[in-house]
Structure 1
């Protein structure tokens, strides 16, 4: 493996999904984990049920508005980039999706970060979900509903890139050393895009249990 970009597009996994081993990481990919009808129904429910807000975070020493809307639900609060998010209650829709993701992941989740990408100019820059509250080698399940968007993983050292087309109803689980050795993003695009909702389920550790 070298330092040049090596972009692979994963499309072929079956409905039940499969675990994929990548250099210093492990992924589960199911592009059609939820049926088209389920995905459409979940999108509509989530759009109306969640308390969507545009949050401000600290970047490079200044406060900036995030280029997307967010909601945080679950059992514990979460802090990243200077933003502390207090949880909203679980909704029946979120609990149903969580149970399905836990079955694939083989772990339990106590929180979910919901992102609403309103159009192609809403995006997520390269970052790692490596806050200490997530624990060692966290398992994060990412579900997409609505518009298809690109998802790019980039290895921290080699700069190798792996790309997924996140369809409506797809499930991507990041596990192993993925959050340590890879960053990930949802790039912006000039193409006309309909809204997309992404849910990332996590297990947040209480701060008094963190050494």
Structure 2
């Protein structure tokens, strides 16, 4: 994802400050014409009114783009933003990545409708979600994960325990051969082979 799909870059594309070949974004340009005119017009000494107009245009443009988007990538807590209200009203599915270190209550944050599909992806063997308080520390000053026992099982493991459908990828796709051997011996009985044994990184290079 990164910068190319960020909200800021999308606003710059629609306003004409950054080139784009995305047909939908090009089609939005006439709806956000005022923002394009402001951003593409030099202001030697912008007044307070100019700044207020610019901020208002950026905010309305951001809300418009988020509402029209097919998908929005955000953190769980940021999904409560007022800017996303219209998008949340029409979304059909929630995908939560790194769900192995998310609390069950956190997964409920983006919900507004019980009919929305929820899909979680992650590693149930990774470290669980930290729940710490600045008021609870060890003698040397390190914070205590006071609720570690309550979150001993990740939400992914709880889903498996209560019988919800799940799918396990039986291959390791991210680490070079040898770099994951100890983890497989200790934690990952269900992983049968390394994809990196079959496909080297060079296999994904293409010449123009």
Asked which structure has the greater CA Rg, the reply is 2
**Larger relative contact order, structure 1 or 2 (CA cutoff 8 Å, min sep 6):** 1
Name the one with the larger strand percent. 1
Larger % of helix: which?
Answer: 2
Q: Give the TM-score category using the shorter length.
A: under 0.3
Q: Give the structure-1-normalised TM-score.
A: 0.20
TM-score, normalisation: structure 2 = 0.20
